[in-house]
Structure 1
Amino acid sequence: MTTTTGEDTPDILTRARAKVLDRGEGLSKDGVLEVLQLPDDRIEELLALAHEVRLKWCGEEVELEGIISLKTGGCPEDCHFCSQSGLFQSPVRNAWLDIPALVDAAKQTAKTGATEFCIVAAVKGPDEKLMDQLIEAVGAIQQEVDINVAASVGILTQEQVDRLAAAGVHRYNHNLETARSFFPNVVTTHSWETRRDTLQMVKEAGMEVCCGGILGMGETPEQRAEFATELAELDPHEVPMNFLDPRPGTPFADKEVMPAAEALKCIGAFRLALPKTILRFAGGRELTLGDLGAEQGMLGGINAIIVGNYLTTLGRPQERDLDMVGKLRLPIKALNSTV
């Protein structure tokens, strides 16, 4: 059924079907905002279109990824959502993992069918000790585990980018976190532009770019639309979609959890802005969406999942995510897949 918003103006989902589904072109900022402002009774229609877009431009496979923290806590930055900041009274202890522990974690992740294993560190950027340990870990994992190794260790210099690329890091994660216009409300110790610079160097070095953020931190629908189109301009390989899970001791501890209906509209809207990009369910989905909402998201544009726990919050048991993917009859991406 074709719906119109006026005598001669097609409805946003009708326009999206022609532009995004048929031609593979992402919606503009204004188009994304229109999607985000759809009434709740049209969420099912939105998600159905987003799923069609995902199937046509990304295929039906689901990519699994596990993450582990090499260095936890004590970060000098003031990201207001993060309990790993050393500036807040958050109950996260400082900890380092050794190489054997990282290799073992990679082996356990590979057993789930995951093709990506991401090593993360709570730092503004890596010092020489961290770089050396990370590169040693990448080599050790590559020798023993058949899995792609990704990294997320903050803001990089060109030399560090080159070292990681030479070491065989497959994908680098560095989230922009939110729209440029809202970023000063989330982080004050570094700029949005600094993050963007790191991502540009990573892209030019030939590593895949993983860049997303967190929704539900107080941004407006207009800023969510801005963020989606800023990500589209960057053209990342993957966008992790996190929903704020308010952490005790952080400046965002008292924020309300995003309503499920809003989160589902965000999933559909981001798919229509990024038709050919991996959209990955990440932190906060359990709290925001629950089991039913997660299934709706998987049939509404999402085509990747972080399995297991996150950095400082519990995820769902790996078995439940694998059962969900099986229930929905979605194939898991194999390591040698080119999709």
Structure 2
Amino acid sequence: MTDIPSDILVRAREQVLERGVGLDETDVLEILRLPDDRIADALQLAHEVRMRWCGPEVEVEGIVSLKTGGCPEDCHFCSQSGLFSSPVRAVWLDIPSLVEAARQTAATGATEFCIVAAVRGPDARLMTQMREGVKAIKEAVDINVAASLGMLSQEQVDELVEMGVHRYNHNLETCRTYFPNVVTTHSWEERWGTLKMVRDSGMEVCCGGILGLGETVEQRAEFAVQLAELDPHEVPLNFLNPRPGTPLEDQPVLDPKDALRAIAAFRLAMPRTIIRYAGGREITLGDLGTRDGLLGGVNAVIVGNYLTTLGRPATQDLELLAELKMPVKALSATL
């Protein structure tokens, strides 16, 4: 008889690696509860799953904030909320600066450039700025344009499609049962509604969240399968980097072993999905952990800085990918 940790990995190998069927919530929870001496085995299996169902290529993306700070929502992890004492204040980026940021992103080899705004949802001014910005970027830079503008109406979804935005990011942030502990100014269901409209429009759906918000391991498993149900094209995995002045400023950083368990578990729940390293990986995992994740199921990275926190220099990530012999996905492969 094999022990219980071996059993879940054996089952996962047959179900996920061989058949391409993601784990259910019960099995994801078993992965998240694996003892420390089994984490490497789980990461190895997750890497095999990634290689079989996604291939060796890594998608590289840069992000820039079109409108920073002054957000009316109370997401407890976010220093861009206008309701907290955190230091970020409202700033708008002009179109030439937006185009230059896209140029710099493309120069790193990235194929994806995401325009982000700290808002509940876009108003007429922001939609006009987006229309002008996307047009200017497409005329100047050979790169895919994505957007993250909060909750949308159907009319706004249609406008973004018309502009040529090919992917929309709207994170659920955490599982449905824990969401009210993190955000009170809107609901999980409102976010889900936007995501359904985006998916139905034909735009690619980018939806993930933040681990280490205070959720239980059971809620982490719940979150993984809720994302799998949505079937997004991409899942950005963030790890909480506690921001001064926010309600979660004293939340401890997630244990790196728990972060690695989660990377493996999310890959085994979503074998065909792009799983992207996003914010907080540097403080949570460091250089060694970043390498472990890329060899444990992650197949995309955000390079450079995040919206309000610093990341590693893009060159470090690109050098690591070259060392691991993981080719950066060409732009033509993402169109």
- Normalising by structure 2, we get a TM-score of 0.99
Deviations 1:281-306 (A, max 9, x none): 00000000000000000000000000
SS in 1 for 2:301: strand
Q: 2:24 aligns with which of 24, 28, 31?
A: 28
Aligned residues: 335
Distance in 2 between the 1:207 and 1:142 partners?
Answer: 17
Long gaps (5+) in structure 1: none
Q: Which residue of 1 aligns with 2:59?
A: 63
Distance in 2 between the 1:112 and 1:5 partners?
Answer: 44
1:150 paired to 2:146: yes
Matches within 5 A, 1:35-184: 35-184=31-180
Q: Which residue of 2 aligns with 1:12?
A: 8
Q: Which amino acid aligns with 1:3?
A: T
Distance in 2 between the 1:180 and 1:38 partners?
Answer: 24
Q: Which residue of 2 aligns with 1:319?
A: 315
SS in 2 for 1:26: coil
Long gaps (5+) in structure 2: none
Q: Which amino acid aligns with 2:119?
A: V
Alignment check: 8 A CA contact 1:3 1:14 kept: no
SS in 1 for 2:298: coil
Alignment check: 8 A CA contact 2:263 2:298 kept: yes
Instruction: Tell me how far 1:4 sits from its aligned partner.
Output: 3.8
Q: Which residue of 1 aligns with 2:293?
A: 297
- Normalising by structure 1, we get a TM-score of 0.97
Distance in 1 between the 2:101 and 2:4 partners?
Answer: 52
Alignment check: 8 A CA contact 1:280 1:302 kept: yes
Alignment check: 8 A CA contact 2:305 2:312 kept: yes
Deviations 1:304-334 (A, max 9, x none): 0000000000010111111111111111000
RMSD of Structure 2 on Structure 1 (CA): 1.1
Alignment check: 8 A CA contact 2:15 2:22 kept: yes
Alignment check: 8 A CA contact 2:111 2:334 kept: no
SS in 2 for 1:184: helix
Distance in 2 between the 1:208 and 1:135 partners?
Answer: 18
Distance in 1 between the 2:115 and 2:127 partners?
Answer: 12
1:273 paired to 2:273: no
